[in-house]
């Protein structure tokens, strides 16, 4: 029996820690990158010469990058074949009529599979399953520790709050792009705004968006294993989103007077007649620049996960692999050992053992 000792990994001495080669830089560098963008936008805000760049090239370029990038992304994913039905089944299969099958966790129909994907997209079903393992003290003194599993819905809640807050905040922006403002926009605003701060409506979604972002960020900093695996590309979008949300909030609650001008600018963008950006102030410049950067960044980063889920072959196929044959477009013949060869090799032994043969002689 092996002697189970503490793990042999992670034995680098603390002296080998080098900030720029370690995890520290991954946390800080993306923040610096966002800070540089903020600075450029802030300084550039007063420049007449740069106005077309901030007011036209950047937002249109970002939109173009987003649309083309996403199309390229989806095409590159869908161009690849789905050779096998590799559903991850998370419930009872459809089998005998008296056994209740799990129609959403292990769907056997295409409708069921679609329902499963919708459940994932709208409610983050799989994240809700999350548990964490923990070693707890044994029942009696001197007992060895026990491995237990504890419910851990934090990530699910944080992710859900973040995504729905973001959706609401984005929908509120429709006010800037439509004139007259449609009824659903004001309806949504009334739903979201419980009370007012000064003259501005106080949107719950804005606060929950920032809180959820902070939770996701702190979680990444805090948990040692998560900090260890996180890349700059994990921090960068969080900083970027926080920057967009904070500048947006600051404008909403402090510089209300700019709203009509901001709306003129946005309407101009929407009608392909970009209006001036100069009077809107540095905060708006920063907000618009960060938001544009975020939009352009989506297709070329992990943020493209917004369209990957419905394509995921472990989730979007019915689990009933034996009911319908899945066709592999590149199925090709392979090296096999045919029965005839097998019988040739073992004929005498098979005959002696009384096992039926195809041919008595080779």
Partner 1 sequence: MSEDAKPARPAKVPFAPSSRDWLEPTVKFAAGRWSYSAKPKSLRTVGFPNPRDWSPDQPDWKLPDNWKEIILQGLRERMDRFRSLRLFMDCCVRCGACADKCHSFIGTGDPKNMPVLRAELLRSVYRGEMTLAGRLLGRWAGGRRLTPEVLKEWFYYFYQCTECRRCSVFCPFGIDQAEITMLGRELLNLLGLNINWVMEPAAKCFTTGNHLGITPHGLKDNLEFFVDSIEEITGVRVNPSINRKGADVLFVAPSGDLLAEPGIFTLMGYLLVLHQSGLNYTWSSYASEGGNFGMFASHELMKGLNAKIYAEARRLGVKWILGGECGHMWRVAHQYMATMNGPADFLQEPVSPITGTRFENARSTRMVHIAEFTADLIHHGKLKLAPERNDRYRVTFHDSCNPARSMGLLEEPRYILRNTCRHFHEMPAETIREKTFCCGCGAGLGGEECMDLRMRGGIPRAEAVRSVREKHGVNLVSSICAIDRAVLPTLMDHWVPGVGVAGLHELVGNALVLDGEKERTTNLRGEPLTEAKA
Kindly identify the residues of this chain, within the stretch 78-107, that bind partner 1 according to CB under 8 A: 78-96, 98-102, 105-106
**How many residues would you count in the chain?**
362
Nearer to partner 1, 263 or 326 (CB): 326
The answer to whether 325 contacts partner 1 (rule: CB under 8 A) is yes
| Residue among 65, 56, 121 at smallest CA distance from 276 | 56
Q: Which of 234, 245, 246, 292 forms a contact with partner 1 (CB under 8 A)? A: 234
Backbone angles phi, psi at 103, to 5 degrees: -75, -25
CA distances from 34 to 27, 31, 56, 170, 231 (A): 12, 5, 21, 21, 15
Residue 67 CB, shortest distance to partner 1, in Å, is: 18
Report 1-60 residues binding partner 1 (CB under 8 A): 1-2, 4, 6-12, 14, 16-17, 21-23, 29
Nearer to partner 1, 183 or 333 (CB): 333
3-state SS class at 108: coil
| Contact residues for 284 (Cβ-Cβ < 8 A; gap 6+) | 45, 251, 258, 262, 277
The answer to whether 298 contacts partner 1 (rule: CB under 8 A) is no
Residue 310 CB, shortest distance to partner 1, in Å, is: 10
**Binding segment (CB under 8 A) for partner 1, from list 45-53, 195-203, 207-215, 336-344:** 336-344
**Binding segment (CB under 8 A) for partner 1, from list 47-55, 244-252, 269-277, 343-351:** 343-351
Q: Which of 260, 339, 360, 362 forms a contact with partner 1 (CB under 8 A)? A: 339
Do 290 and 56 touch, CB atoms closer than 8 A? no
| Residue among 87, 83, 90, 84 at smallest CA distance from 319 | 87
Q: Which of 228, 256, 257, 276 forms a contact with partner 1 (CB under 8 A)? A: 228
């Amino acid at each position: 029996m092996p002697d189970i000792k503490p793990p042999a990994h992670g034995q680098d001495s603390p002296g080998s820690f080098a900030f720029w080669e370690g995890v520290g830089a991954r946390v800080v560098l993306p923040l610096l990158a966002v800070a540089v963008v903020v600075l450029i936008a802030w300084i550039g805000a007063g420049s007449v010469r740069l106005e077309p760049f901030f007011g036209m090239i950047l937002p249109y370029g970002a939109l173009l990058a987003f649309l083309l990038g996403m199309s390229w992304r989806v095409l590159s994913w869908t161009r690849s074949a789905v050779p096998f039905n590799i559903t991850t089944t998370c419930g009872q299969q459809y089998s005998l009529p008296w056994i209740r099958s799990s129609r959403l966790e292990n769907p056997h129909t295409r409708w069921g599979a679609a329902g499963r994907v919708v459940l994932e997209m709208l409610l983050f079903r799989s994240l809700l399953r999350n548990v964490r393992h923990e070693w707890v003290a044994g029942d009696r003194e001197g007992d060895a520790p026990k491995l237990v599993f504890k419910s851990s819905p934090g990530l699910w809640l944080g992710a859900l709050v973040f995504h729905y807050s973001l959706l609401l905040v984005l929908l509120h922006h429709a006010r800037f792009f439509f004139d007259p403002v449609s009824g659903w926009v004001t309806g949504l605003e009334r739903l979201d705004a419980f009370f007012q701060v000064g003259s501005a409506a106080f949107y719950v979604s804005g606060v929950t968006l920032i809180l959820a972002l902070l939770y996701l960020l702190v979680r990444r900093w805090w948990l040692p294993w998560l900090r260890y695996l996180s890349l700059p590309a994990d921090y960068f979008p969080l900083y970027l989103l926080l920057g967009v949300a904070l500048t947006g909030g600051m404008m909403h609650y402090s510089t209300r007077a700019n709203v009509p001008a901001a709306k003129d600018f946005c309407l101009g963008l929407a009608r392909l007649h970009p209006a001036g950006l100069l009077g809107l102030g540095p905060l708006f410049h920063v907000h618009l620049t960060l938001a544009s950067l975020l939009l352009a960044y989506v297709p070329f980063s992990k943020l493209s996960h917004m369209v990957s889920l419905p394509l995921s072959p472990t989730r979007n196929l019915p689990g009933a692999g034996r009911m319908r044959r899945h066709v592999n477009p590149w199925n090709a013949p392979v090296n096999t050992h045919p029965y005839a060869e097998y019988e040739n090799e073992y004929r005498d032994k098979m005959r002696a053992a009384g096992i039926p043969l195809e041919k008595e002689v080779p």
